[in-house]
Amino acid sequence: MRALPTFVAIGLAAVAALGLTGCSTTVDLDPAPAANDPLCAEVTSNLPGTVGGEPRRWTDAQATGAWGEPSTVLLTCGVEPPGPTTLRCEEVAGVDWIIDDSDAPRFRVTTFGRTPAVEIYLDTTADDEGNGVSSRDVLDALSPIVSVLPVDGQCLDRDEATTAP
């Protein structure tokens, strides 16, 4: 067997090195309890290539999505649907989201009134270059995809929730 010429061997090594450095690492996530729900497959198969200007990354768990390097947006479908709460609820593109801002500027938002439920963790902290993901951009991008999940409830404003009929 003949040896490869030196320039060919160096060229192949360079291509291999570029291929390895061009790949981002897989994001390690845990699947939600209802991750195998077929509706979660519908959601995750339609996730966009970018969210809030961040590129999508591979994940190692069913019914999940991640964007950014490091990850600034994490999505998990199949989480336990939340019950009544006093947390703020916002409607975006027909989807009600409960917003947990207890760890701001990192937020956990969860669909309300949809089964299976979707949870998004997003980090709005600016990086060294001043870039941070916008929660509005994230919800604007993902709400239309999540809207395929069946509606079984909706958020009420505080006045409606606290007044008895």
Cβ neighbours of residue 97 closer than 8 Å, sequence gap 6 or more = 89, 90, 91, 109, 110, 111, 112, 139, 143
CA angle at 32 for the pair 31 and 36, rounded to the nearest 5°: 80
pLDDT in tens, 77-89: 999 999 999 999 9
Cβ neighbours of residue 138 closer than 8 Å, sequence gap 6 or more = 51, 52, 73, 120, 122
Report the sign of the C-alpha dihedral through residues 106, 31, 66, 141, in that order. Answer: negative
Side-chain half-sphere exposure of 71, counting CA atoms within 13 A: 20
- Is 74:133 a contact under the CB 8 Å cutoff? no
Residue spans per domain, the chain:
27-162
pLDDT in tens, 57-116: 999 999 999 999 889 999 999 999 999 999 999 999 999 999 999 999 999 999 999 999
User: In this structure, what are the phi and psi dihedrals at residue 21, rounded to the nearest 5 degrees?
Assistant: -75, -20
Reply yes or no on whether the pLDDT at 52 is more than 70: yes
Does the pTM surpass 0.95? The reply is no
